Amino acid sequence: MPSSIQELDLGKVVISMDKNKFVFVDKQEIEEEEYRKSLTYWQDAWRRLKKHKLAMIGLIGVVLIVLIGIFGPMLTQFSYSDQVNDYKNLPPKLDLYKVDDDIYIYLSGDYFLFSVAENGRLIKRLELPKENKDIINKVYTYVLDGEPVILDFSYNLLPGKRGYDYDFTLEYKGNITHDVYKTVLNKIYPFGTDSLGRDMLTRTMYGARISLIVAFVATLVNFIIGVTYGAIAGYEGGRKDNIMMRFVDIVNSIPLVLYVILLMVLLRNQGLWTIILALGSVYWVGMARLVRGQILALKEQEFVLAARTLGVSKKKIIMRHLIPNAMGPIIVAMTMMIPSAVFTESFLSFIGLGVSAPMASWGTLANNALSGLITYPYQLFYPALAIAITMLAFNFLGDGLRDALDPRLRKG
Amino acid sequence: MKNYFIKRIIYAVFTILLIATITFFLMHSIPGGPFTRERPVPDEILKILNEKYHLDDPLVVQYFDYMKGLVTFDLGPSYSKIGTDVEELIIAGFPASAKIGALATFMIIIIGIPVGMISALKQNRPVDYMVMFFATLGVTVPSFVIATLIIYFFAGILGWLPTFGLNSALSYIGPVIALSGYSLSFVARLTRSSMLEVLRQDYIRTARANGLKERSVIAKHAMKNALIPVVTYIGPMIAAILTGSFVVERIFAIPGMGRYFVESVTNRDYTTILGMTVFYAAFYVIMVLLVDVAYAFIDPRIRFGKGSN
């Protein structure tokens, strides 16, 4: 039996151990391993946020929307207010009719003919002299480079011309066409144009800028008023708190949109700042409640007592000790406030209280699209899509932030 | 309990009066009077108009006149619809708005809650994913977009529904869907998450461990508690339906209060804006009061917690 093996006789059980199997612990090494890099609250939150897939999608979406809002309108060849009278109400997809070799025609909903290249690049609008409009027989004669193009849209409308598969024909140099040759994307106006011939792509991106400016600044105003009010109420406590919160309760028991509308009427809609002011001065009550709750809990903690004992002023305790510690829920609330501000702004613009023309927000774009909806649905589609994407992105990000910054509220 | 109700009622009356006061002074702080036009009205006419509408009285007198009128539901004449009183507009528009609003509320409750429940019970199954997809879509798309899309597809292209008015049963479908879309989705999501929360509670495990049937575990123990957070959403829901009616009534051309309100905003018809705002706010406060009272019956924690102190 090797000498290194010790035998312990514990009653009847014999345990044998090989000393070589054991190594002395290097104390220093262990201690070094025990120390992990200490993460601050924000680093920890970021680590958690990165794990949240939907939140990261939301974050990327938000960054993209903001970048599009800032740089998008600079990159297109049109400005948001440029009007091209010839190119009104052009959709993003053009149905082309081939009337001759290399001559393609697009017929718009307003009975205008456009000469279009095969790849979808608009060349020009065909002229239609007034005397060429034969409304009774429903035949219009357009002029393309001196040659007449005859649009006969009397089929299925006039007696004796019923039972056709098609409603109109195009005649050019004796060739008659009535079938769509192919559908191409509008190369000059990828999102089409509106009723004044303005580029929808530029306007949608510009709308992003306006909608986001309104939402961000209004949220900032909310933040400043709400945090100040809530912090004072929470820190002071007692009667002041009671009176201040009763007021909040009352404001909160009113449908706030009514007051935004009232303020907009009152301020007479003098541009962007009125809508920001109206939104900012009304929606702070939720923030005030939240901050007050946080402060009430925080002010009982030892570090506040310590600060007070040291003679730190009230203002400084609130600004340097209390609010930074309540920042997590505040940021979550702000992230959720931005999409609802976008929503409210578009709602206001929709009922005619938004930014004034030629400026455009998504709400005004949607409102403008309403009158020609049946013929030009694409004019509503893009701003509506933009609103929906923004709402989704901010909501995803907000959910993720809530999980990351406020683990107590985490779901699941 | 009794004290709680009395307190709530006094509180509601006080709130309504305060709202009326704030609104009154806000509307009267607008520079220029209601008769300020681009082309100035001659002084003599302005004087007569001011006298007729008592605008030459001191503000305090006007205020007390207005409050007196408010108590007797006399909201004064409309400035832009000559010969009509504001309360006549409200009486004319309220039934249509109320019908659509009530139907929308009904839809939200009978569809939103069961759908959320089913979604929670079938968590992470196809049904759940589908419900969540539509519910998420519903809270991201504004009501005016839903309304216009309904008009476009069902009224325009398919021709199944009328595009305007409230003349047939079919014509209610569009407005009600547009009005309830957001809140329905929200209620479904809320019900789902609160149901999931409740299903994880210890008392549900206890109920199951005691050998109760799954059906009675869910119906008797889980459902009731899961619905409490949903009840708290009723207040915001009423507000959402009120404001939603502004756009929905405009798009579907329904002669309701919402449309009159939006019209008065565009026309800068101050008395109508003032009267309707007060009416809306009062209506909302009363509805929330009723909900809170009902809530106190449902949830004993409210009654003995908030009510007693």
Asked if pLDDT for residue B303 goes beyond 60, the answer is: no
User: pLDDT band for position A60 (50/70/90)?
Assistant: very high
Residue with the larger pLDDT of the pair A132 and A286: A286
pLDDT tens for residues A279-319?
Answer: 888 888 888 988 888 888 888 888 888 988 998 888 888 88
Q: Note the Cα B308 to chain centre separation in Å.
A: 30
A282/A251 Cα distance (integer angstroms): 8
Quote the minimal CA–CA distance from A195 to chain B in Å.
Answer: 18
Name which of B140, B246, B281 is nearest A254 (Cβ-Cβ): B281
**Range list of H helices, chain B:** 2-28, 43-52, 59-71, 86-107, 113-121, 126-140, 143-150, 173-199, 202-209, 214-216, 223-232, 234-251, 257-266, 270-298, 300-305
Asked if pLDDT for residue B4 goes beyond 70, the answer is: yes
Name which of B144, B152, B243 is nearest A374 (Cβ-Cβ): B152
Contact state of A255 with B27 under an 8 Å Cβ cutoff: no
User: pLDDT band for position B305 (50/70/90)?
Assistant: very low
Interface test with B, best of A247, A251, A253 (most B CBs within 10 A): A253
pLDDT tens for residues A322-372?
Answer: 888 888 888 888 888 888 888 888 888 877 777 777 788 888 888 888 777
Contact state of A387 with B246 under an 8 Å Cβ cutoff: no
Residue with the larger pLDDT of the pair A257 and B113: B113
Q: Which helix (H) or strand (E) covers residue A10, if one does?
A: strand A5-10
Interface test with B, best of A258, A336, A410 (most B CBs within 10 A): A258
User: Model's pTM, two decimal places?
Assistant: 0.79
Interface test with A, best of B7, B132, B145 (most A CBs within 10 A): B145
Contact state of B250 with A384 under an 8 Å Cβ cutoff: no
- Average pLDDT of span B143-154: 82
**Range list of H helices, A118-271:** 200-236, 238-252, 256-267
Residues sharing a CB contact under 8 Å with residue A85, sequence separation 6 or more, in sequence order: A197
In CATH terms, the fold of domain B98-254 is MetI-like fold (1.10.3720)
Asked if pLDDT for residue A146 goes beyond 70, the answer is: yes
Interface test with A, best of B18, B148, B271 (most A CBs within 10 A): B148
pLDDT tens for residues A164-214?
Answer: 777 777 777 777 777 777 787 877 788 888 777 788 888 888 888 888 888
Asked if pLDDT for residue A412 goes beyond 50, the answer is: no
Name which of B15, B30, B145 is nearest A253 (Cβ-Cβ): B15
Contact state of B141 with A388 under an 8 Å Cβ cutoff: yes
What's the pLDDT score for residue A107?
79
In this predicted complex, what is the ipTM? 0.76
Q: What percent of chain B has pLDDT over 70?
A: 93
The listed range with the strongest mean pLDDT (A47-61, A396-410, B218-232) is: A47-61
pLDDT tens for residues B169-191?
Answer: 788 888 888 888 888 998 998 89
Asked if pLDDT for residue A411 goes beyond 80, the answer is: no
CA distances B207 to A232, A379, B194, B214, Å, are 46, 56, 18, 9
Among A31-40, A248-257, A317-326, B235-244, the range scoring the smallest mean pLDDT is A31-40
Mean pLDDT taken over chain B: 81
Q: Which two tokens stand for residue A144?
A: 């393309």
Contact state of B140 with A391 under an 8 Å Cβ cutoff: yes
Closest chain A CA to residue B182? A343
Name which of A257, A377, A388 is nearest B140 (Cβ-Cβ): A388
- Average pLDDT of span B73-101: 82
What's the pLDDT score for residue A30?
61
Residues sharing a CB contact under 8 Å with residue A377, sequence separation 6 or more, in sequence order: A369, B152
Asked if pLDDT for residue B281 goes beyond 80, the answer is: yes
User: pLDDT band for position B306 (50/70/90)?
Assistant: very low
Asked if pLDDT for residue A145 goes beyond 50, the answer is: yes
B134/B149 Cα distance (integer angstroms): 16
What's the pLDDT score for residue A190?
80
Q: What percent of chain A has pLDDT over 70?
A: 91
B111 CB within 8 Å of a chain A CB:
no
Closest by CA to A275, choosing from A336, A189, A187, A356, is A356
User: pLDDT band for position B300 (50/70/90)?
Assistant: low
Q: Which helix (H) or strand (E) covers residue B154, if one does?
A: none
Q: Which residues of A touch B149 (CB under 8 A)?
A: 380
B201 CB within 8 Å of a chain A CB:
no
pLDDT tens for residues A209-244?
Answer: 888 888 899 899 999 999 999 999 888 888 888 888
Asked if pLDDT for residue A4 goes beyond 60, the answer is: no
